[in-house]
Structure 1
């Protein structure tokens, strides 16, 4: 899968040996520069654990080693669980 603008990726050693410490990376663009088969240049932002951009970077990585990162939904945006009450047959709920 080729990343697209806006994707958040977890970049690890699987993508390139330079990432011994994994980073999160938000893609700005994928360059169409000629490279080795399966490799790509990406422009984007390195993210901290809160998801804030901390550094703009260009990275050279193997596409097969990139992983999509889906951050957890914040508690304030989660919908409360729905509860349903069963009404016995023949009774009308008022």
Structure 2
């Protein structure tokens, strides 16, 4: 776990997250042309009752999911998979089994 202290919305906060999450935070901030503090401030403003750490993690995952969804629209993500997967619908329409 790695700690970072940041100035967020006028106050100093310290967040403790995995090194890989911090790398993703840095990547998302860079891709969005913002500072890490600005990205975390955005998560702080929209977090509701969640912890700030959870809000940052969810924001990073949401960013990457939207990125993959956009790539999927153009058929680009399946090309990078080492083995293509098939979706087989089960009896219930709510669930999909991945193979």
Into which bin does the TM-score normalised by the smaller protein fall? under 0.3
Which structure ranks higher in relative contact order (CA pairs < 8 Å, sequence separation ≥ 6)? 1
- TM-score, normalising length from structure 1? 0.25
Q: Specify which structure has the higher proportion of helix.
A: 2
